[in-house]
Amino acid sequence: MLKKIVSIIGGIIISLVISYFTLSYDGHEIHFHDRDGNRFQIIQEPDTNLMMNGLLIVLGTTLIIYLVWTFIEKKVN
């Protein structure tokens, strides 16, 4: 149980650092224009690629920490 909790927390912390330095936020804006070319509405959407890549980094680092910890435990015993 402790191994799982520490792996999740460690994965989140390490992935936050990795995501901060490697991923960039590219928020999307949609501009609607009327017939004269004037903007009358701007819709801002979140960057779903950033969220998905961040989630994959969290899952990957958590899995790596868990597998390395399990391998070290088996090697010691």
Domain containing residue 16: 2-76
How many domains, the chain?
A: 1
Residue-wise DSSP of 9-61:
HHHHHHHHHHHHHH-----EEEEEE-TTS-EEEEEEE--HHHHHHHHHHHHHH
CB atoms near residue 6 (< 10 Å): 14
Tens of each residue's pLDDT in the chain, 77 residues? 888 899 989 999 999 899 888 887 777 788 888 888 888 888 887 778 888 999 999 999 999 999 999 999 999 87
Nearest one of 54, 61, 45 to 22, comparing CA atoms? 54
- Please, how many CA atoms are within 13 Å of residue 57, restricted to the half-sphere of its CB? 18
pTM: 0.73
